[in-house]
């Protein structure tokens, strides 16, 4: 299977590419380095990426910036960053990528747990992840030719928490998050949000 993995240089991205490369041909795409590069805030950049790569069997987006900060201190730019990058960046990856997705192929976007477990300082990012979850649930109703779209919604990643110097006991390891992308890729679900929490993916 030919998979385009966008956001391949992040903690989750690196683990997911490593996991999927065991079975598939993975094209690793980053913002500044990788097999190819892309700026997901630019439709022209996304279009150029797909023109270079050509048709694929699956698209995985692990890209998208978030902003954290209290409601009374978050500048408007913080909300725009979430909307322009995490939301519209991934929406445009799906919109443009659909034209290059082979019959029966899948698209997997990345949301997060901020909207499932509200806490102070996460209003902007929570808004963004909720938008992605709703987007995939709705778009799935309109796809044809056996094409599917899902989202992976990871909780805080252990490796990131450790880099921040905070207790990572409640986090999930990046290698475990990778198994949820694998499940989205190989399963039959569409419009589904895979909640990557606690440990590796186990089918219900």
* Tens-digit pLDDT profile for residues 58-113: 999 999 877 788 888 889 999 999 999 999 999 999 999 999 999 999 999 999 99
Q: What CATH number corresponds to the domain at position 182?
A: 3.40.50.720
- Chain position carrying tokens 């799935």: 140
- Euclidean distance between CA atoms 186 and 24, whole angstroms: 11
Domain count, the chain: 1
Confidence of residue 149 (pLDDT cuts 50, 70, 90): very high
Domain membership flag for residue 168: yes
H and E: helices and strands count for the chain: 7, 7
Domain that holds residue 181: 2-196
Side-by-side strand order, sheet with 101-110: 36-37, 25-30, 2-6, 56-61, 101-110, 148-154, 193-196
Q: Is position 201 within any domain?
A: no
pLDDT at 188: 95
Instruction: Answer yes or no: pTM beyond 0.85.
Output: yes
Q: How confident is the model at residue 35 (pLDDT cuts 50, 70, 90)?
A: very high
| Helix, strand or coil, per DSSP, at residue 80 | helix
Residue with tokens 């902007």: 124
- E-only strand ranges, 63-124: 101-110
């Amino acid at each position: 299977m030919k998979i385009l993995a966008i956001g391949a240089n992040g903690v989750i991205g690196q683990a997911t590419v490593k996991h999927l490369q065991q079975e598939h041909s993975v094209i690793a795409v980053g913002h500044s380095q990788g097999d190819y590069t892309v700026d997901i805030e630019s439709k022209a950049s996304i279009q150029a990426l797909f023109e270079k790569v050509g048709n694929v069997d699956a698209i995985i987006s692990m890209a998208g910036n978030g902003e954290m900060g209290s409601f009374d201190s978050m500048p408007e730019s913080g909300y725009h960053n979430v909307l322009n990058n995490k939301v519209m960046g991934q929406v445009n990856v799906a919109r443009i990528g659909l034209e290059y997705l082979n019959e029966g192929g899948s698209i997997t976007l990345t949301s997060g747990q901020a909207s499932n477990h509200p806490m102070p300082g996460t209003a902007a990012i929570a808004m963004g992840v909720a938008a992605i979850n709703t987007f995939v649930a709705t778009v799935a109703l309109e796809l044809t030719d056996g094409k599917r779209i899902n989202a992976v919604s990871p909780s805080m990643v252990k490796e990131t928490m450790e880099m921040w110097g905070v207790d990572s006991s409640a986090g999930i390891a990046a290698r475990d998050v990778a198994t949820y992308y694998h499940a989205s890729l190989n399963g039959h679900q569409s419009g589904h949000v895979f909640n990557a929490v606690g440990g590796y993916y186990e089918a219900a």
